[in-house]
Amino acid sequence: MTLALATIRPGEPEIFAALQGEGASLGRPCVFVRLSRCNLSCHWCDTAYTWHFDGDNRPHKDGKTFSRLDNQVTMDEGEVAQMVLDLGGHLPVPRLVLTGGEPLLQAPALARLLAFLPGWQVEVETNGTAAPTPALDAMLHQFNVSPKLSHSGNPAELAIVPERMAAYAADKRAFFKFVVAKPADVGEVSTLAATYNIPPSRIFLMPEGRDPATLLSRMAWLSEICLAYGYALTDRLHIHLSGDTRGT
Ligand SMILES: Nc1nc2[nH]cc(C(=O)O)c2c(=O)[nH]1
Ligand code: SF4
Ligand SMILES: [Mg+2]
């Protein structure tokens, strides 16, 4: 009964306290648990150490792979829950973010983890291709769904799962957070919003970028697009505060 987690350093799970840096809860104090493994392979992924292990030939723009031994650690759910409580148990509204990788690949283990954390507000960062189990679904308060557009390099058949998109679009707990690198990417967002009936009020556009200068320059034109379409803009606060580093 274990969870496969990402690491901050070899052997040390990536469990940390930080302000939520993206999306509908931006700025809220949270505890983050980063899970290992993903079913997609975005070429600009900023957490390739969760999935791009040695021997994986899929392309990534950093051009490197990671040792699984150094970048993955397995832990019992109860042990993970204790670390979460130690980091965030003092918060008036204790809030947990499950991220990855793709955390929903480990949905049954996540349900066991959350059984140790009654009273926590829980949000999950997902690429929108996987479903929570019913047990997990009943314990989640917010979905931050980030479907991947064509510039991610994933084939659309893998990145967009129609029945999942429709289910999240119909679920008021779900916010959609589209990573955008160039203005033309927004055309795909509008098409997905129309196809699956996603209300603009639950859509965020987020600049792709791992440094403050890139984020700021892309937000300059993204802000205009958001005003025109009625979408919300989200920054990546943690990049400004800490840079592109693990455990922040
Ligand atoms: N502070 C902070 N906020 C985040 N929101 C989503 C994150 C993610 O990597 O999924 C993230 C992260 O890694 N750090
Ligand atoms: S879905 Fe997320 S974790 Fe998976 S490869 Fe893409 S950006 Fe990385
Ligand atoms: Mg991230």
Nearest to 205 by CA among 175, 168, 173, 160: 175
Residue 99 and residue 30: Cα distance in Å, rounded? 12
Per DSSP, which regions of the chain are E strands? Answer: 2-9, 12-13, 15-19, 29-34, 72-76, 95-99, 121-126, 142-145, 174-180, 203-207, 232-233
**Which H helix or E strand runs over 191?**
helix 185-196
pLDDT tens digit string along 109-146?
999 999 999 999 999 999 999 999 999 999 999 999 99
Query: What's the CATH code of the domain at 100?
Result: 3.20.20.70
Mean pLDDT of 188-204: 98
22 CB under 6 A from ligand 1? yes
ipTM above 0.95, yes or no: yes
Q: Could you tell me which residues come within 8 angstroms of residue 212 by beta carbon, excluding any fewer than 6 positions away?
A: 239, 240
Domain boundaries, position 74: 2-242
Taking the CA of residue 48 as reference, the ligand 2 atom at the shortest distance is 8
What distance in angstroms lies between residue 148's CA and the mean position of ligand 2's atoms? 8
Distances (CA, A) of 242 to 9, 52, 246: 17, 23, 9
**Position 159 pLDDT exceeds 90:** yes
Q: Is position 248 within any domain?
A: no
Does 120 map to a domain?
A: yes
Give 78-119 pLDDT, tens digit per residue: 999 999 999 999 999 999 999 999 999 999 999 999 999 999
Cβ contact 218:209 at 8 Å: yes
Which residue's C-alpha comes closest to atom 7 of ligand 2? 45
Structure tokens at 41: 């392979």
Pocket of ligand 1 contains residue 21 by CB under 6 Å = yes
Atom of ligand 2 nearest to the CA of 44: 7
Looking at the domain assignment, is residue 169 inside a domain?
A: yes
**Residue 132 belongs to some domain of the structure:** yes
Total count of domains within the chain: 1
Whether 152 is covered by a domain: the verdict is yes
Rama region for 11: left / alpha / beta (φ>0; ψ in -120 to 50; rest): left
Angular region, 133: left φ>0, alpha ψ -120 to 50, beta rest: beta
Integer CA distances (angstroms), 127 to 76, 91, 168, 213, 245, in order: 25, 28, 11, 25, 21
Task: Answer whether residue 247 is part of any domain.
Answer: no
Residue 8 inside a domain? The answer is: yes
List, chain by chain if needed, residues with CB within 6 Å of any ligand 2 atom.
Answer: 38, 40-42, 45, 47, 50, 100-102, 127, 148
How many C-beta atoms lie closer than 10 Å to residue 145's C-beta?
28
In the reported structure, the alpha carbon of residue 45 is separated from the centroid of ligand 3 by a whole-number distance in angstroms of 8
Asked if residue 54 is part of any domain, the answer here is yes
Q: Is 45 annotated as a binding residue?
A: yes
Is the pLDDT at 158 greater than 90? The verdict is yes
Asked if 45 and 99 count as a contact pair (C-beta separation under 8 A), the reply is no
Average pLDDT over residues 16-26: 98
Atom of ligand 1 nearest to the CA of 237: 1
Chain segment 37-66, per-residue pLDDT in tens: 999 999 999 999 999 999 999 999 999 999
CA-nearest residue for atom 9, ligand 1, is 99
Q: Which atom from ligand 2 is nearest to the alpha carbon of 50?
A: 3
Closest listed residue to residue 112, CA positions, set 83, 86, 139, 85: 139
Amino acid 1: pLDDT: 84
